[in-house]
Amino acid sequence: MMASMRNGSGDEYFILFNPYGAIIKGFAHESLMSPYATKSGSPWAGVLDGVPNEFKDFLSEPAFSTTFCIWRKYTDSSWQVGKIDYPLGDNPDGSEDLLSILDEQPSAYKEFAEYYYEKQVVLSAVEHIYQHKALTSEIVVALNADVSLDTLKSDIEEIGYSNNAI
């Protein structure tokens, strides 16, 4: 299975989930480690080093540019990265900004959504989703007044969101 995010500004990440664990490969176009910033056209030295063989096929996908790569096998006690000599600066590979919404904190997603969509987001509605509670019309409207629960039905089913309200 795979998940992806593209923000429309050139940044993206892709996450592969396989029987061995998960790997995230991302690209932050303005990062200090961007192949375009270094004019090398290649990933920063070390970014792809040490990736286990169980994830190697994911690395050969030509559609993915890379400024960061992290992985975790089910047997690992923590997330892993290659041996990288990072350039000086905050968040040099862009991963901190791009992955911040994955930190299990509804407030982090609220902050991201308000910045990205330039509108206020109701924290309690985001918390409702993070708690995997059934969707209601009120929660959907609190997040996006232009969408209804009925219009989301196929999306909800596609992602497997358990929903007693439908």
Give average pLDDT by consecutive 10-residue segment, the chain, 166 residues: 85 94 94 83 89 90 81 96 93 92 89 89 94 90 91 87 62
Residue at 139 is within a domain: yes
Among 166, 146, 147, which Cα is nearest to 156's?
166
Residue at 113 is within a domain: yes
Q: Based on the fold, state whether residues 79 and 149 are members of the same structural domain.
A: no
Q: Based on the fold, state whether residues 32 and 111 are members of the same structural domain.
A: no
Q: Based on the fold, state whether residues 15 and 94 are members of the same structural domain.
A: yes
Write the DSSP string, 137-165.
HHHHHHH-TT--HHHHHHHHHHHT---TT
Residue at 166 is within a domain: no
Helix H or strand E segment including 97:
helix 95-99
Range of the structural domain that residue 151 is part of: 106-159
Q: Based on the fold, state whether residues 149 and 90 are members of the same structural domain.
A: no
Q: Based on the fold, state whether residues 93 and 135 are members of the same structural domain.
A: no
Query: pTM value?
Result: 0.77
